[in-house]
């Protein structure tokens, strides 16, 4: 009874805030994704049943973090608009960078396939060898060139949609670019890159084409289908598929309790003890300042649910307890609100790219915190360089 009362109060408060925010904030994005993910986790858990139902205190904490995720939006969207206009990127330069990025992506992936093809057991595993063996082989053969360009579709897809809306490329070219991006995202037969591909397209369409939330949700059913197809390709039985789905979606929200109880099995001494500073830890280790730091791959949780993902709240909770969880939700909500407003207002390509990545991080928030990784830091540097390469002109196009 107490759990259902908690849900009733929590959903009533969150629903009221969503009603206010969605009526004043245009476009599909962070509000829709966070609401979908955490609404499914919290409302779905009681229907799924044990052992996936979090304790009452944990569910209250999840509602508090959801509330803190939403609160920065009220402050961000109350700030005055300094310039009601869009950035003018040089079209020709955007086209050059787009085709360079696409070409380098194809070259990087083709080079990797040539390097690992002789070691793939295609006779035994078929195309699944790319998943079972490919990830290990790619890690061994990877270099800076591959890391920079192999999956850079997050950078070039928004450019393609920006150019298409300005009639600088044809529809056929746009479709080919999207297909190439899907191929590079699918090479290892893992779902996360395909999800990133889908959300990059949805974010770009919502911003550059001005699609309504309803239209974007309809497109999402089509664009998320490759994620489902990859999952179904493993020939799960219906019972096994449902069990995997429960562990993936609801497992992390349950085992997060072990962190609150300070029962995480991975606690040990490191040169840097902070789980939430992965990008700094990585850099410090590469420069020789430290030798060890907490791995992003968590230890499996003790208890009835076998999983090693603990939601996006895990790193800050491991470092700072409940206060860290509240801080993680607040900062993610603030960053998402700022990027949403700037992306829709100015339509600068680098901002749209990073906002698409933040949307992906929110979609993955039931598993881990993507924004603390070194990849998020490197992406920010890449987009800073692209910003300067594009050199947005100081002339502005009025939207009024």
State pLDDT tens for residues 196-238. Answer: 999 999 999 999 998 888 888 888 888 888 887 777 666 677 8
Q: Degrees (nearest 5) of the Cα angle 150, 151, 157? A: 130
- Residues 241, 383, single domain; the answer is yes
Give the pTM: 0.91
Name the one residue in this structure whose structure tokens are 């929200």.
253
What is the residue range of 129's domain? 91-233
Q: Are 297 and 278 in contact (CB under 8 A)?
A: no
Residue 12 included in any domain = yes
Query: Bigger pLDDT: 124 or 117?
Result: 117
Q: Degrees (nearest 5) of the Cα angle 64, 53, 363? A: 60
Structure tokens at 393: 């002109």
Q: Looking at the predicted structure, is the pLDDT value of residue 116 above 70?
A: no
Euclidean distance between CA atoms 227 and 224, whole angstroms? 6
Confidence band of 351 (pLDDT split at 50, 70, 90): very high
- Residues 194, 268, single domain; the answer is no
Q: Looking at the predicted structure, is the pLDDT value of residue 299 above 90?
A: no
Which of the residue ranges 113-127, 243-257, 295-309, 362-376 would you say has the lowest mean pLDDT?
Answer: 113-127
Name the one residue in this structure whose structure tokens are 């920006």.
162
- Residues 73, 132, single domain; the answer is no
Residue 3 included in any domain = yes
- Residues 2, 23, single domain; the answer is yes
How many domains are there within the chain?
2
- Residues 118, 228, single domain; the answer is yes
Provide the angle, in degrees to the nearest 10, between the axes of the packed helices 91-116 and 374-390. 140
- Diameter over CA atoms, the chain: 62
- Residues 243, 200, single domain; the answer is no
- Residues 284, 168, single domain; the answer is no
- Residues 119, 227, single domain; the answer is yes
- Residues 384, 252, single domain; the answer is yes
What is the pLDDT at residue 102? 96
- Residues 313, 349, single domain; the answer is yes
Task: Check residue 391 and report its DSSP letter.
Answer: -
DSSP string spanning 215-279? HHHHHHHHHTHHHHHHHHTT---HHHHHHHHHHHHHHHHHHTHHHHTT--TT----SS--TT-HH
- Residues 241, 224, single domain; the answer is no
């Amino acid at each position: 009874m107490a759990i259902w009362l908690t849900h009733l109060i929590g959903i009533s408060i969150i629903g009221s805030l969503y009603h206010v925010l969605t009526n004043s904030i245009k476009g599909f994005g962070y509000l829709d994704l966070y609401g979908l993910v955490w609404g499914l986790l919290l409302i779905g858990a009681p229907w799924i049943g044990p052992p996936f139902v979090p304790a009452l205190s944990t569910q209250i904490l999840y509602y508090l973090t959801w509330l803190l995720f939403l609160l920065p939006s009220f402050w961000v969207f109350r700030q005055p608009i300094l310039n009601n206009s869009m950035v003018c990127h040089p079209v020709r330069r955007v086209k050059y960078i787009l085709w360079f990025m696409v070409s380098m992506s194809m070259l990087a992936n083709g080079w990797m396939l040539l390097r690992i093809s002789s070691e793939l057991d295609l006779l035994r595993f078929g195309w699944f060898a790319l998943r079972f063996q490919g990830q290990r082989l790619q890690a061994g053969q990877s270099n800076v060139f591959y890391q920079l360009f192999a999956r850079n579709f997050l950078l070039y897809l928004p450019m393609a949609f920006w150019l298409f809306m300005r009639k600088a490329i044809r529809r056929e070219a746009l479709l080919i670019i999207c297909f190439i991006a899907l191929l590079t995202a699918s090479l290892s037969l893992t779902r996360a890159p395909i999800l990133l591909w889908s959300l990059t397209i949805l974010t770009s369409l919502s911003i550059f084409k001005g699609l309504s939330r309803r239209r974007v949700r309809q497109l999402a059913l089509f664009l998320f289908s490759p994620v489902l197809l990859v999952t179904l390709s493993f020939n799960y039985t219906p019972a096994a598929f449902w069990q995997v789905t429960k562990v993936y979606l609801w497992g992390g929200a349950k085992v997060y309790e072990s962190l609150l109880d300070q029962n995480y099995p991975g606690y040990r001494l490191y040169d840097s003890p902070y789980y939430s500073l992965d990008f700094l830890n990585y850099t410090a280790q590469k420069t020789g300042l430290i030798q060890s730091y907490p791995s992003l791959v968590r230890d499996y949780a003790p208890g009835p649910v076998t999983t090693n993902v603990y939601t996006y709240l895990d790193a800050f909770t491991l470092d700072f307890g409940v206060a860290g969880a509240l801080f993680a939700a607040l900062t993610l909500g603030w960053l998402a609100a700022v990027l949403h407003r700037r992306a829709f207002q100015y339509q600068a390509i680098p901002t749209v790219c990073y906002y698409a990545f933040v949307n992906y991080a929110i979609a993955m928030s039931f598993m881990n915190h993507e924004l603390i990784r070194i990849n998020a830091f490197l992406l920010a540097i890449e987009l800073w360089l692209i910003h300067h390469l594009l050199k947005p002109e100081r002339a502005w196009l009025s939207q009024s």
